[in-house]
């Protein structure tokens, strides 16, 4: 399966020391240069990214056709736009993206999207984690925003509420 990721899934899993969930689920992840640079910006806030940088299952793609990222802004950031461009270019099966507008655009272009909450659900279903709630609470403590309604819906779907 060919999977491209935007910044949010990787950066948020990094913050709670769960980045390897992506490899366990997808084996290999492709990211565009803009996403790589957005993740590197976490170093400015004191985050040690040596673990991220050493992951050989995350491939940074720099040479691909850019279309969406060259259009006038569609209210999505550079990382999202480049991730969508890369997903189209390499004919990805999935794109990991949380932001609603970017996800909507990717879906309009025929790309299947999955967000961080979906990744946590898959991890639980595959017995890679024992508790979605525990990790979701850690994410929230690290400024990941999720509505109360969605929080409860996700936990109900994995029998944790």
> What averages of pLDDT result for each successive group of 10 residues across the chain (161 residues)?
96 95 97 95 87 94 84 79 94 95 92 97 97 97 95 96 85
CATH architecture for the domain at 3-117: 3-Layer(aba) Sandwich (3.40)
Q: What does the pLDDT read at residue 67? A: 83
Q: What does the pLDDT read at residue 2? A: 96
Q: What does the pLDDT read at residue 44? A: 87
With contact defined as beta carbons under 8 Å apart, do 22 and 16 qualify?
Answer: no
Three-state DSSP at 112 gives: coil
Report the alpha-carbon angle 82-80-72, nearest 5.
75
Query: Encoding tokens for residue 141?
Result: 């403590």
Q: What does the pLDDT read at residue 45? A: 83
> For 38-67, how does the pLDDT look when each residue is reduced to its tens digit (9 = 90+)?
999 988 888 889 889 999 999 999 988 888
Q: What does the pLDDT read at residue 73? A: 66
Query: Encoding tokens for residue 8?
Result: 């949010």
Could you say which DSSP state residue 73 is in? P
Q: What does the pLDDT read at residue 48? A: 85
Q: What does the pLDDT read at residue 75? A: 78
Task: State the residue for tokens 């109360």.
Answer: 148
Rounded percentage of the chain residues whose pLDDT exceeds 90 = 81
């Amino acid at each position: 399966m060919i999977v491209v990721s935007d910044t949010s899934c990787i950066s948020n899993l990094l913050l709670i020391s769960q980045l390897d969930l992506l490899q366990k689920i997808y084996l290999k992840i492709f990211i565009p240069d803009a996403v790589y640079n957005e993740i590197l910006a976490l170093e400015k806030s004191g985050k040690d990214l040596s673990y991220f940088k050493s992951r050989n299952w995350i491939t940074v793609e720099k040479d691909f056709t850019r279309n969406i990222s060259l259009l006038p802004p569609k209210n999505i950031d550079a990382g999202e736009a480049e991730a969508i461009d890369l997903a189209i270019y390499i004919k990805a099966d999935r794109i990991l993206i949380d932001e609603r507008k970017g996800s909507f655009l990717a879906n309009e272009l025929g790309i299947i999207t999955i967000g961080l909450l979906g990744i946590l659900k898959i991890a639980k279903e595959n017995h890679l984690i024992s508790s979605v709630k525990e990790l979701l609470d850690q994410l929230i403590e690290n400024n990941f925003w999720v509505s109360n309604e969605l929080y409860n819906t996700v936990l109900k779907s994995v029998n944790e509420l």
